[in-house]
Structure 1
Amino acid sequence: MSAPVVSVDATPVRAIALILIGMACISVNDMLIKLLSGGYPLHQMVFIRSVIGIMAASVFVWLEGGWRILKTERPGLHLIRALLIVSANMIYFAGLSVLPLGLATALFFVAPLFITLLAIPVLGEAVGRHRITALFIGFTGVAVMMLPATDWSDIPRAALLLPVIAAACYAGMQVMTRKLGAKSAASAMAIYIQLAFIVVSCVSYFAVGHGRYAEGLDSESLIFLLRAWVWPAPEDIWKFAVLGAMSAIIGYCLSAAYRLGNAATVASYEYAALPMAIMLGWIVFAERPGWIMLLGTALIAGAGLYVFARERHRAAPGEVPGPAAERPLRRG
């Protein structure tokens, strides 16, 4: 069941406020997961986060029209979409456990560039020299961050690829969603995603929750994925509670912002997450950004913002924007 269409010009300030709230919550969410990654497995965090999140999202469902809005004509599409988001999240969080917060966030922001790239074979879109140049600059930023620098010389090079792979998964989901034309209320989409997280984390518990596969491993990312479940320590319970609240707010804010505002305009405000992540990394984890990280971040952010500027320039009034600006770029 499709939610009613809202004029993009009616509430631009509200859309921008929603996306900024969503970005702030994502930054806090990532910070908490990184804080907890040393003592708990990822699938346990995802399960607790999603159980709390789905309860909070249910309140938004009730406010937006009740359980009837969960009915959809495309359940298969929502399932594929949710599983791709779950994959992007799990891969990203595995990288986040060993990477500086600001660095992981910056590398994930190649998602709009992947979306533009995938639009060529999947959607048959022509990409001109301006966006090709932006793609080259953005991926140059990724290459710069992959240099063997003293900023993170103790981090395995392969770990730097995890946020990039997560961004590619996320981009594939976005392009597929646009191609198939799925539409639902913001709260309904948040419920679908939380359900997918719960199912995947339960399957992970039965497959690897005993922790035997983590024994003898050196990779912190793999240990994070395969570690045994443990009961949360009293001092960590509030962190899990906040994670759940962040999950519900993120899912709602991102979906609602893109339904209320012009997609390319709203998407450009997602880059507020970059300084937020760098600041939290500095304050909480003492991760002082070096010049290589700042240069790579500037190249990626500049390329992504340029892609969105081109989308606004190309789209006439009433015209559907291009794929890079169609849906939220960040994780749900």
Structure 2
Amino acid sequence: MSSDKRENRPLLGAALMTASAASFALMGAAVKYAQGVPVFEKVLFRNLIILFIAVVSLASRRISPWGEAEDRTKLFLRALLGYIGVVCTFYALGKLPLADANLLNKTSPFFVTFFAAIFLHERLRRIHIPALIAAMIGAVLIIKPGFDVNAFPAFIGFLSAIFAGAAYTLVRSLNAREDPMVIIFYFSLLSVLVSLPLAMRGFVVPNPPLLVALVATGLFGAGGQFFITLSYRYGKAADISIFNYSSVIFSLLIGYIGWRELPDWFSLTGALLILGAAGLVYFTARRDR
């Protein structure tokens, strides 16, 4: 039986969460670029690359990919919830503006905080609720989502956050015992097995630019998955999940670099709210220890 590997190092956990947010922002841009490629084909490409990386990592360290016997139900459930969340996210990215889809998905830390309080019995500090509200208001100010979008894609985008929040709460629980790559292996293997037959129906042969975008989707997805999985090993969900909102800021940077989009004063105010809320949570947690 493996020992408890979970540590409480919130600064490292926050840094890893921020790295994950940057990777997922780049992945979202790649997914958005690959227009014309069906959702399940995008999911398949993404997770084939992640599966390869996970297998090589585990094999090189001679770690069994199947994990502890008592954890396998949790590992499967985390993989299933994560897969549904990814499909919902990719669907929303294909139907909504990139910023709108990002906002809907990045409400997931809200669900992580409360799921962790309910199921993992992590302490919910009084500061978490106003800080999360401030971060969400900041995200709205940055993204300024339109209200003329089709309701169904928006609802699917919101569902992606619920499933992601549940999956990441299980990641926090599993990281006490399992190697991060074991968790990623389960997730990517299930995703490939489910997506493969669905992707073969209406498969689109990608041209070189689309192929680069699909490969980038997998590489950035792998980086984001690894960093977020590792982040929950070092920090409590309620302390670090708010740093996931930094992906909104990265999306602004990507928009400027790729399309010369400049933020207005609403966006700058939103960025300050997000960074202020994240800093407030961290320093409050540090003071209370």
Q: Which residue of 2 aligns with 1:30?
A: 28
> Is the counterpart of residue 68 in structure 1 residue 64 in structure 2?
yes
2: CA distance, partners of 1:18 / 1:145: 23
Measured after TM superposition, the shift of residue 12 of structure 1 is 6.2
Change (3 A) 1:97 1:266: same
Instruction: From the superposition, tell whether residues 120 and 249 of structure 1 become closer, same or farther in structure 2 (CA, over 3 Å).
Output: closer
Q: CA deviation at 1:299?
A: 5.4
Amino acid at match of 1:204: L
SS of residue paired to 2:36: coil
Distance in 2 of aligned mates of 1:198 and 1:60: 18
Counterpart position of 1:219: none
- What amino acid sits opposite 1:66 in the alignment? R
Following the alignment from structure 2 to structure 1, what is the Cα–Cα distance between the partners of residues 226 and 6?
A: 16
Secondary structure (helix, strand or coil) at the match of 1:229 reads coil
Mapping 1:176-191, distance limit 5 Å: 176=170, 183-191=177-185
Q: What amino acid sits opposite 1:238 in the alignment?
A: V
Secondary structure class of the residue paired with 1:60:
helix
8 Å contact kept, 1:95–1:160: yes
Query: SS at 1:58's partner residue?
Result: helix
Structure 2 stretches lacking a partner, 5+ long:
none
Match of 1:274 in 2: 248
2:158 aligned to 158, 161, 164, which one? 164
Match of 1:87 among 84, 103, 127: 84
2:149 counterpart residue number: 155
Deviation at 1:44, TM superposition (A): 0.3
Query: Any conservation in 2 of the 1:61–1:187 contact (CA below 8 Å)?
Result: yes
More helix per residue: 1 or 2?
2
Larger radius of gyration: 1
Distance in 2 (CA, whole Å) between partners of 1:26 and 1:303 is 21
Structure-to-structure mapping, 1:15-164, within 5 angstroms = 18-36=16-34, 38-63=35-60, 65-68=61-64, 70-73=66-69, 74-118=71-115, 122=119, 127=124, 129-134=126-131, 136-137=133-134, 152=146, 155-164=149-158
- State whether residues 60 and 187 of structure 1, in contact with CA within 8 Å, keep that contact through their aligned partners in structure 2: yes
Q: Distance in 2 between matches of 1:199 and 1:104?
A: 26
Deviation at 1:173, TM superposition (A): 2.9
Work out whether residues 50 and 221 of structure 2, in 8 Å CA contact, stay in contact via their aligned partners in 1.
Answer: yes
Deviation of 1:26 after TM superposition, in Å, equals 1.5
Give 1:79 shift.
0.8
CA contact (8 A) 2:172 2:232 kept: no
Q: Displacement of 1:178 after TM fit?
A: 5.3
Aligned match of 1:238: 212
Aligned length: 287
Q: 2:195 aligns with which of 179, 189, 201?
A: 201
Q: Does 1:254 align with 2:252?
A: no
Specify whether residues 16 and 120 from structure 1 end up closer, same or farther in structure 2 by C-alpha distance, changes over 3 A only.
closer
Q: Percent identity?
A: 23
Q: Distance in 2 between matches of 1:305 and 1:164?
A: 26
- Write out per-residue CA displacement over residues 35-71 of structure 1, whole angstroms, 9 at most, x where no aligned residue: 00x21011001112211221122222134x2242533
**CA positional deviation for 1:125:** 7.0
Tell me how far 1:232 sits from its aligned partner: 1.2
For the residue of structure 1 that corresponds to 2:95, the secondary structure is coil
Structure 1: give runs of 5+ residues left out of the alignment: 210-227, 317-332
8 Å contact from structure 1 (residues 110, 304) kept in 2: no
1:75 deviates by 1.3
